[in-house]
Amino acid sequence: MNLLKPKKVNRSFGGNLFVGLTVTAFAVIQSITILFTVFSAFKPLNEIFLNPPKIYVINPTLDNFRDAFRVMDSSWVVFSRYIFNSFFVSVCGIILTVLLSSLAAYPLAKMKEMPGIKFLSWFIILSLMLSPDVSGMTGFLLMNKLGLVNTYLSIIIPAVATAFNVFLLKQFMEQMLPDTLIEAAKIDGANEIYIWFKIALPIIRPAIFTLIIFSMQSLWNNPGTTVFSEELKTLPYAMQQLVSGGIARTGVASAVGVMILIVPVVCFVFFQGQVIETMSSSGIKD
C-alpha cells in the first residue's frame, strides 16, 4: 500500500515553461515589495524619500532599529511586552488550532455514518465563502457576550475557529488516511482517540505543518482589534502607533515591519517542504 504516491503531471514542455515563467513573475513582484521594506529599514530618512526611489541602500544604518526601541520604551508599555504578546497569542493559537481542527476533521473525513456529518461538511464549505470582514462584527458581539473582550482569548478563539483549517485537514485525511488502516486498528482493539492520535496525526503531518504556517501568519499579524488594554496589545499594533507618528517615523515603521516579517519567514523556511508535499500529494492506493 503506497500512502504517498505523487501525482504524475501530464504537461508538455510549453506548458511547463508557461507555468514556470508565470510563477517566476509572481515571485519577482512579491520579492520587490519585501526587499523594498527590508532595505528601507536600513535607510536614513533622506534616502527613503529620494525621487526617483531606489530599492538598494546607499548609506546603510541601524538608526531606525535603535529609534524603534527608543520610541517604544518611552511609551506606557515597553517594546518587549508587545513582542511577548504576539508570541504568546501565536503559540497558544497554533496549538489549539492543530488540536481542535484535527479533532473536528477526523470524524468529518472518516466517520461518514454519523448523523449530520454530511450537513456539517456542507456547512463548513459554505463558511469558506464568507469574508472575515463579514463576520467581524458578529465575532466581536460574540466575544463581548462571552466576556472575552480585552483578553488574549478574543484574538485566539476567532483564529482557531476557522472553517479553512478544518477543511484543509479533512481533505488531506480523506486522501491520505486509508479506511483499511483504520479498520485494522479497530480489529486490534484501538479506539477512535488512539487512531486519531497515533495513526491519523502522523500521516497528516505535512498538512499540520501547512496549517501551522497559515496560523502563524494569521495570528502573528493580528493587530488585536478586540483588545483595548495597552499591556495586551500585539506587535502589529505597535507598528501602527509608529506609522501614525508621521513621515519622520517612516524608517522606524519599516524597521518594525522587518521584525514582524522575520518570524513568519523563518517558519515558512523550516516547513516549506511540508507545504509542497501537502499541495502535491494525491490519493492513496490500496
The pLDDT of residue 284 is: 40
Q: Domain range for residue 112?
A: 13-280
Specify the amino acid at residue 204. Answer: I
Q: Per the domain annotation, does 4 fall within a domain?
A: no
Question: In this predicted structure, what is the pLDDT of residue 8?
Answer: 53
DSSP per-residue string spanning 97-133 = HHHHHHHHHHHHHH-TTSTTHHHHHHHHHHHTTS-HH
Low-confidence residues in the chain, pLDDT < 70:
1-11, 73-74, 243-248, 273-286
Query: What pLDDT does residue 285 have?
Result: 42
102-149 pLDDT tens trace: 999 999 998 888 888 888 888 888 888 877 777 778 888 888 898 999
Find where cell 517612516 sits: 250
CB 88 within 8 A of CB 152: yes
The distance in angstroms from the start CA to the end CA of the chain is: 5
**Are 172 and 164 contacting, i.e. CB atoms less than 8 angstroms apart?**
no
The answer to whether residue 136 sits within a structural domain is yes
Q: Which three cell numbers stand for residue 273?
A: 517542504
Q: Is residue 2 part of a domain?
A: no
- The predicted-structure confidence for 221-232, as pLDDT tens digits, reads as follows 888 888 888 888
Q: Assess if residue 285 is contained within a domain.
A: no
Q: How many domains does the chain have?
A: 1
- Residue 33 lies inside a defined structural domain of this protein: yes
Q: What is the pLDDT of residue 106?
A: 93
Domain containing residue 247: CATH number: 1.10.3720.10
Amino acid at 185: A
Q: Which pLDDT belongs to residue 151?
A: 92
pLDDT at 1: 43
Please check whether residue 156 lies inside any domain of the structure: yes
pLDDT at 4: 47
Judge whether 163 lies within some domain.
Answer: yes
Residue 222, domain member (yes or no): yes
- Of 76, 66, 91, the C-alpha closest to 251 is 66
pTM listed for this prediction: 0.79
